[in-house]
Structures are given as structure tokens and as C-alpha cells.
Amino acid sequence: MHKCGACGKFQSPIDGAKCDICLKPYHRRCVGLNLTGIITTPWHCPECRKNQVRDNRNETPVRGQAVAPLEDSLVNLMDTSASPINTTATDATQDMTHHPSDITAELKKFKEEFISTIRQEFQLMRDDLAELRSTIKKTNDRMSALEERVAVMENRKLEQESTGVNDIIAQLRSDINDRDQELLATDIQISNLPEAPGENPVHTALIVASKLGVKAKARDIVSAERVGGRRINATQPAPVETRPRFLVVRFARRDLRDEMVEAARVRRDMTSADLDLPGPATRIYINERLTKTNRELFRRAREAGGRFGWQYIWSRRGRILARYKAGDSVHQIRCEADIDRVFNAVPIRAIV
């Protein structure tokens, strides 16, 4: 272990520096070296560098005037009589001491200017905020108006789409009803015909055809049956059937069906007594068989025609027809809208 040549304390040669001239070891921090890293060689300690001889060659710069010691400079600064700078500072101090009102006026003026500037800045800020609020309000109004227009357009589009969908649905229903009506092209419906226990519907249909003068045989009838629910008056002590069920007859040919309907229109006054049926005489009605939709439409057409004094409302080949009086044009009722259109106006043109 060796002692440091600067502080005199022991130090390890590993973490120290050794002078190449005097061979003394030093702590790195004592001679201002980095605590880590490699020391460049040759390395001379401060004492050896100070004692090195300097050669005064021609290219050596001429030494300037020596700088005055620090003590002399401090003395000169403290000598106020010899320094012009200190004299000026003294005069300024004396002026500030002798004129305090000027300083107060300057401070007051500075305060007023500062306050005025702050007020102007605040006023400009208020104006900017007011303009910003106005712009935001206008933007909100435009957005609200735009939203209302979009809502109106969407509702209108939905209404148009809904109207289009409703029209399509109505057309599909009409097509289905027309197809169902076409399936009933050879059927007739006999109403108000008394129903006897254990009756043979085919035999009853042949009796009706015979009374109407229509030559029909059993092979001309595809089917004959009673349809619908029984209408019974339960208020009486013994239940009484108020109206018999419909007798529906399907013929093998459409011309035979048409012949039955035309003959029934000629014999409008035919009753159950003409058929030798027991019980009181009741009028019998023979018409084309209609679908449920057409039956309801026919019923409403007759009610509306009765209110407005229309004399003729009937069906032909599944179509509901109406005529105001003899000799007028014939109108077809296809839907509910036609009831209002036809019966609220005088007939104008015929339907072929």
C-alpha cells in the first residue's frame, strides 16, 4: 500500500494513477481524473507539470500585461471617489431618494396601463366567447333542422314503402281470391231450403233441378252437401233451428251450373212447398257459390245499394255486379273501395 501524493492517505495502486516522472501514486479524484477508464500515458502529476522548463522560442506569444490581483480590484470597486461607474450609481440612488413622487406616479401609470390592457384582453375574450356561442347555436339549429328533414324523408320513404307493400299484399289477396273463386266455377248455393233429418243431398238437388226445368242426372252432380253451422234459437223452451244450412251442389259442367242459375232467376218465387217438402212454405234462393271474401263483399254491396236506392245487385261467374236502374250501366264491385266509388255516384259507363 502507498500513500497518495496529494492527500497523504493510503490508496491501492489499482484504482490510482502513478506519475511517470516522480513515480508517486495519486487518487484519481485528487488529481481530477475520471474514476473509471484508462489513463493515457505518459501521465505527469501536477507538481511535475509545474516544474517543467519552458523554452522561449520566437514563435512563443508575447505575454500581455499582468492582471491585477483580486484584492486590488475589490479595493478599486469600493473606492467610490475614483470610479465613474460608482459615481453614477450613487447619483441614481440620490435621485430615487430625492424624488419619491415620480416613482409613485410611474407605478400608478403602469398600474393603470396594466389594468386597461387586462380589461381590453378580457373584453376581446368575451367577444370571442359570444361569437363562439352564436356559432354553436346556429350549428345546433342547422343540425336540428337537418335531423327534422331527415326524419320527414325517412317517414315519407317508410310510408311509400308501406303503401307499396300494402298494395302488393292487396293484389296478392285479390289474386288468391280470384283463384279460389275459379275453383267454385261449377258450384251453386241453395239457401233457406228446409233440412230434413236423414235427407239425401244429391236427391234434394235433383228435385230442385227438376222443378226449375233443368234436366240433370245423378252423374252430373259431383258432390252435394250441407255446409255451415246450424243456427238454433236457444231462448225457446225447446231449441228451434231458425235457419237451415246452405246446400252446396257441385256440377260436372259449368254450363249446367249456369242453366240452374238462369232458371232460378226466372222462378224467383219458388218456395219449399213447390218441392213437396214438409213444413211451412219458405222462399228458396239459388245463386252461384262465392268465396268468403266475395260473400262479405256482396253483402256490403247490397246494404250500400239499398241505402242509395240501387235496384239491381247480383253476381255472375264470381263477379259482383250492380245497376242503378233498368237501362243504366253495369258496374263491377271488386273491393271495398269500389263500394264507396260506385254507390256514391251515378253510374257512368258499363263494364264488359
Contacts of 233 (CB under 8 A, 6+ apart): 239, 240, 241, 242
Residue 160 and residue 123 share a domain: yes
Let me know: does 9 contact 3? Beta carbons within 8 Å. Answer: yes
Kindly state whether residue 65 falls inside one of the protein's structural domains: no
Number of H helices and E strands in the chain, helices first, is 8, 13
Kindly state whether residue 275 falls inside one of the protein's structural domains: yes
CB atoms within 10 A of CB 61: 5
Burial status of residue 220 (CB atoms within 10 A of its CB: 0-12, 13-18, 19 or more): middle
Would you place residue 94 in the very low, low, confident or very high pLDDT band (cuts 50, 70, 90)? Answer: very low
Which of 54 and 147 is assigned the larger pLDDT?
147
Sequential DSSP letters for 231-246 = EEETTSSS-EEEEPPE
CA distance 291 to 181: 6
- The pLDDT of residue 77 is 43
Mean pLDDT for 172-183 is 90
Q: How far is CA 182 from the centre of its chain?
A: 45
Kindly state whether residue 90 falls inside one of the protein's structural domains: no
* 309 pLDDT above the threshold of 80: yes
Kindly state whether residue 55 falls inside one of the protein's structural domains: no
- Give the lowest-confidence range in 69-83, 94-108, 337-351: 69-83
Residue 271 and residue 345 share a domain: no
Q: What domain range is 179 assigned to?
A: 97-183
Percent residues over pLDDT 90 in the chain: 28
Mean pLDDT for 142-161 is 85
Let me know: does 212 contact 193? Beta carbons within 8 Å. Answer: no
Which of 11 and 13 is assigned the larger pLDDT?
11
Last residue of a domain, one of 135, 151, 183: 183
Last residue of a domain, one of 120, 149, 183: 183
For residue 197, the SS3 value is coil
Mean pLDDT for 293-322 is 89
The three grid cell numbers given for residue 324, joined into one nine-digit string:
242503378
Residue 208 and residue 162 share a domain: no
Residue 129 and residue 147 share a domain: yes
**Total length of the chain:** 352
Would you place residue 132 in the very low, low, confident or very high pLDDT band (cuts 50, 70, 90)? Answer: very high
Which value, to the nearest 10 degrees, does the dihedral of the CA atoms of residues 82, 84, 88, 90 take? -10
Sequential DSSP letters for 275-332 = GT-SSS--B-EEEE---HHHHHHHHHHHHHHHHHT--EEEEETTEEEEESSTTSPEEE
Would you place residue 255 in the very low, low, confident or very high pLDDT band (cuts 50, 70, 90)? Answer: very high
Kindly state whether residue 83 falls inside one of the protein's structural domains: no
- The pLDDT of residue 300 is 92
* 277 pLDDT above the threshold of 70: yes
- The pLDDT of residue 84 is 44
Residue 224 and residue 177 share a domain: no
- The pLDDT of residue 345 is 61
Distance spanning both ends of the chain, measured CA to CA: 137
Provide the domain count of the chain: 4
Residue 221's DSSP bridge partners are: 251
Residue 310 and residue 340 share a domain: yes
Residue 7's DSSP bridge partners are: none
* 73 pLDDT above the threshold of 60: no
